Amino acid sequence: MKKPQAKTGKKNATSAKLTQLGRQAGIPASPDAAILETVANPNKGKHYTVRFTCPEFTCLCPITGQPDFAHIVIDYVPGSRIVESKSLKLYIASFRDHGSFHEDATISIASKIIKAAKPKWLRIGGFFNPRGGIPIDVFYQTGSPPKGVFIPDQGVNPYTGRK
């Protein structure tokens, strides 16, 4: 199957720089080893929200090695770059064998996106399943969203069995 071409009929210079999209790429050995890629925002100058939902996030307790499970919701308003989703998927998957407290995992994800894409605004919610009878939800945002941009509710209920 022939790869789609950019609207101009020429190969998109931005996509030529991507190392994971359209190629074989395995899960990185650790979150630090993961490369989070971005592409030019095709709607630069417009305020809109991008949402990534990761309902099957896993990491390991750094003390016991027991698995932790979470539903991660990432909302951001792009600046000049947008996050390439395959690289994000591989980055998120790199946590599955990585020891990280809930708070650190959530903030690390936000920090990596901020460093790579430099969004105008970012919010992340880490909704972790209970361990030891206590669910831990972690929230972070970079400040107030740009005026007039639609920011939907994250849509994950506080823990009551999270139906």
Catalytic residue among 32, 68, 75, 137: 68
**Which strand (E) or helix (H) includes residue 56?**
strand 50-60
Task: Check if the beta carbon of residue 125 is closer than 8 Å to that of residue 51.
Answer: no
Please give the Cα distance from 10 to 118 (Å, whole number).
27
- For residue 75, indicate whether it is catalytic: no
Catalytic residue among 32, 61, 75, 104: 61
- For residue 61, indicate whether it is catalytic: yes
Question: Which has the closest alpha carbon to 59: 17, 23, 101, 26?
Answer: 101
Neighbouring CB atoms inside 10 A of 118's CB total: 13
Give the catalytic positions in this structure.
61, 68
